[in-house]
Amino acid sequence: MTIKELSKYHNIKIEIKQLEDTVEELESTIIGSSKITGMPTTINGSSSPTERIGIKLAQLKSKIETKKETLIDEAHKIEDFLTTVDEEEIRIIIRERFLNGKTWEEVAKKIITDRSTPYYKLKNYLKGRAKSEKEESK
């Protein structure tokens, strides 16, 4: 895991929320007086404009749900990584910076150190971990 990969977590959470809002909007879209809840059916191969819109909305909803699942998987990878970190201070740094979206300065205050220290501690930890994983795979 890298700092760049960890940095994605906050944005992933924001994007998931946006996708959920979009799905909610789609679900509340009303055509005529009925809510679109599923895939409309066609009769004799033709459909009305309302049915075509319903089909398009259902397809869009499906694509959004697929994207949301992918983002959730990425978020789980980061959360799973956090459980493998054996150093308490590093877990605090990761949780505060990437999961809670704090600035490096706010993280530093939390662990009572100067502003640049948490970044370098994390960078060194990840570098050492990558090195040991590389040696183990040989």
* pLDDT, position 42: 53
Confidence bin at 33 (pLDDT 50/70/90): very low
The full DSSP string for 29-93 is -EETTEE--SPPP-BTTB--HHHHHHHHHHHHHHHHHHHHHHHHHHHHHHHHHHHH---HHHHHH
The C-alpha atoms of residue 61 and residue 57 are separated, in whole angstroms, by 6
- Tell me if 108 sits within 8 A of 98, measured CB to CB: no
* pLDDT, position 124: 94
Question: What confidence tens digit (pLDDT) does each residue in 67-121 have?
Answer: 999 999 999 999 999 999 999 999 999 999 998 889 999 999 999 998 889 999 9
SS3 103: coil
* pLDDT, position 51: 76
- Residue 31 identity: I
Question: What confidence tens digit (pLDDT) does each residue in 45-66 have?
Answer: 566 776 777 787 788 888 888 9
Question: Average pLDDT for residues 121-126, to the nearest whole number?
Answer: 94
